[in-house]
Structure 1
Amino acid sequence: MGLNDMNLKAVHYVTGEPVTICIEQGIIRSIEPIRSENSDSSELAIVAPGLVDLQINGYAGHDFNQVPYPDKMVGEVIRKLWQEGVTSCFPTVITNSVQAIQEALESIALACKHDPVADQGIAGIHLEGPFISPNDGARGAHNYDHIRPPDWELFNRWQEAAGGRIRMITLSPEWPNSAPFIAKCTENGVTVSIGHTSATPEQIGEAVEAGARMSTHLGNGAHLMMPRHPNYIWEQLAQDRLWSCVIADGFHLPDQVLKVVFKVKGTQAMLVSDAVSLSGLTAGTYTTHIGGSVVLTSEGKLHLAEDKHLLAGSAQMLLKGIEHVTNRNLAELAEAWDMASVRPSGFMKLPSASGLTPGAPADLVLFRREGSRIRLERTFKLGKQVFLREEIE
């Protein structure tokens, strides 16, 4: 066997049965049940596909939206995300000045070119803005001064700076001529997601016809008050061709909303972290370039210092979302895990979309359930162990 070739014994996250996974040259070659009468699966960890985060703004004090980036920052974030079971991610660049967006995109592209860790961990870039609603509430924390209508020439300039790595864009179809812009994105392999919007149901319908396929953190980045019906949340839920991403950290959406999204969207429901740079840090008061003075609580809630009821972003990773969804009986473990792994993988047509099957890349995690907690033990990227919890060495 090669250097990173191995046989992993673990409990399959879907079937609950003990299996042996043969990994060769970074690929899952076979998955065979362990049939020995003497085997004790209670000693084995659970194996599942690596997590895929479609929306992450930063982690552990590192911010994809503050330029210039510190040296080697991108690769450092990827390494830290491996400790959270995230084997592929989409760094998210949000509304900013034209030059700041370009510099962030260039920095990510440069990192992917020169750092194998960044190249392996980054499946694409998510551009969230600046073609979003300028209205208070809908625009969330995005800077009003930099919001603008869709501009294909400008987008192409940014795509060139990104080395073609912009794979997803969040926009609002309320702008005139949004549909032709969405169609051009779709034709050029860029997934269009609707978010931070004040669009009418008719405009959302036009966007879907033009190729929009997803809703960005549905239910957040929205007005505090809106018409009972029709409104842009109902319309996105009702559009069969739109997949829905939600932040399931227990703070951004009440359980009732999560339950409705899961029931309506079924296998088109996905989890994202939308984590900001303060995620992964200890509880305390921090000063940010977007929200000013903010408080990160020991429970993981991030709110404005002057008002604990106003969120200042997400500070929880996908593992916490899976924990919340399963602990609140909103989904079984396998389904919740799929919402954060194979579904986003398949949605973005990544090689890891097939999950735990022969021929798939060996992007895997091993974990245990300890009461209400999920305890990650090991992470593998392309068959190479990239994280091992110290106490199990």
Structure 2
Amino acid sequence: MPETSFFDLQINGYFGVDFNQDDISAEDLHNACAALARDGVGGVLATIITDDLPRMAARLSRIAHLRLTDPLISRMIVGFHIEGPFISTTAGYVGAHPVAHARETDWNEMSPLLDAADGLTRIVTLAPEQDPQQQVTRRLADQGIVVSAGHTNASLDQLDAAIDAGLSMFTHLGNGCPRLMDRHDNIIQRALSRTDQLYVGLIADGAHVPFFALKNYLQLIGLDRAFIVSDAIAAAGCGPGLYPLGDRKVTVGEDGVPRAEDDSHLVGSATPMQRMAENLQHEVGLTKAEIDRLTRSNPRRIIGAASVAPTPYATKSVAKNGAHPATAP
């Protein structure tokens, strides 16, 4: 994967294809990867979000299998970001995740997800308060998996305990939290107070974080510790319309922003990384070198992407649904 290409640590779908659908087809996943490559992305972490545990495992296993059948998929999907299910159940903090499946951590539930991902898990997002003894955080970190806080209202003590256990990242700062919070003692301020110890992800679409706030956050975090993710859903690279995310349908309006039906929260983004890079230049005033750090080199460094070897693929393989996998262009 060339260093000149974008690298996205959090992407739920692309070009009309939802990575959280059951039995995703080889053709659909190939087409999504081809669209990502066309749009300047060199690698991604396919993000599987909170759901019924067996279904999460089946989705991870399906994509891991398809990587073995197609060189383009293998090259583009470097690994997985498992976002949930060990996140806050509180309204606002749970965000777009189905609250019925959010829960406290249990290694006996985490381990099957890792097995299903076939050694490809690079990041797990969880809420520190849902891992009160830090047992899952510690075991994940000991395996070299990046543990990230997200969809959380962890206290400063809980955040510190998680950091001591191996937490090293914060997922999409400024999101996965309610609109109304304490003016000062809130999860955004707590995370910002620990950016000397945490890498911090940000979504640069202008909807998740206003550009003036994004500029403030970047100044506080520092360009060595920050990185940009798309948090894209299937709508990215398309346009207004109705798009899948797991079992739900998400409406994207004329402004290009996916929102919940009651407008209580956003549901991922529909903005490609190239557009986010342009936003960083024109709306935030960053230089090309600074943008490259946030969208290319920092994400690779966080997960050690340079050391991730391509997965061998079978030249003849039949996908689970009976379709023959496409070949790379």
**When the two structures are superposed, what TM-score results if normalisation uses the length of structure 1?**
0.74
Write the distance in 2 (CA, Å) between the matches of 1:286 and 1:78: 18
Instruction: Say which is worse superposed, 329-338 or 340-349, in terms of deviation.
Output: 329-338
SS of the equivalent of 2:215 reads helix
Q: CA deviation at 1:180?
A: 1.9
Residue 113 in 1 paired to residue 68 in 2?
A: yes
Write the distance in 1 (CA, Å) between the matches of 2:259 and 2:48: 21
Aligned positions of 1:291-306 closer than 5 A:
292=249, 294-297=251-254, 299-304=255-260
Contact kept? 1:150, 1:178, Cα under 8 Å? no
The equivalent of 1:374 in structure 2 is none
Per-residue Cα deviation, 1:21-66 (whole angstroms, up to 9, x for no partner): xxxxx99xxxxxxxxxxxxxxxxxxxx7111000000011111111
Instruction: In structure 1, list runs of 5 or more residues that go unmatched.
Output: 1-25, 28-47, 354-360, 362-385, 388-393
Alignment CA distance shift 1:305-1:156 (3 Å): closer
Write the distance in 2 (CA, Å) between the matches of 1:304 and 1:156: 31
The equivalent of 2:203 in structure 1 is 247
Letter in 2 for 1:54: L
The equivalent of 1:150 in structure 2 is 105
- Correspondent of 1:277 among 211, 216, 234: 234
- Correspondent of 1:140 among 85, 89, 95: 95
Alignment CA distance shift 1:348-1:286 (3 Å): closer
SS of the equivalent of 1:279 reads coil
Alignment CA distance shift 1:159-1:136 (3 Å): same
Bigger relative CO (Cα 8 Å, ≥ 6 apart)? 2
Residue 261 in 1 paired to residue 217 in 2?
A: yes
Write the distance in 1 (CA, Å) between the matches of 2:48 and 2:11: 9
The equivalent of 2:273 in structure 1 is 318
SS of the equivalent of 1:78 reads helix
Letter in 2 for 1:300: G
Q: CA deviation at 1:235?
A: 1.3
Write the distance in 1 (CA, Å) between the matches of 2:89 and 2:101: 9
Q: CA deviation at 1:163?
A: 0.8
Instruction: Say which is worse superposed, 246-255 or 309-318, in terms of deviation.
Output: 309-318
Contact kept? 2:257, 2:270, Cα under 8 Å? yes
> Which has the larger strand fraction?
1
- Correspondent of 1:334 among 276, 289, 303: 289
Aligned residues: 309
- Correspondent of 1:69 among 24, 30, 53: 24
Q: CA deviation at 1:216?
A: 0.4
Write the distance in 1 (CA, Å) between the matches of 2:136 and 2:241: 42
Alignment CA distance shift 1:314-1:116 (3 Å): same
Residue 104 in 1 paired to residue 59 in 2?
A: yes
Write the distance in 2 (CA, Å) between the matches of 1:314 and 1:352: 29
SS of the equivalent of 2:300 reads helix
- Correspondent of 2:49 among 79, 94, 113: 94
Q: CA deviation at 1:168?
A: 0.5
Aligned positions of 1:122-141 closer than 5 A:
122-141=77-96
SS of the equivalent of 1:258 reads helix
Instruction: In structure 2, list runs of 5 or more residues that go unmatched.
Output: 311-327
Aligned positions of 1:165-176 closer than 5 A:
165-176=120-131
The equivalent of 1:356 in structure 2 is none
Q: Cα RMSD between the aligned structures?
A: 2.3
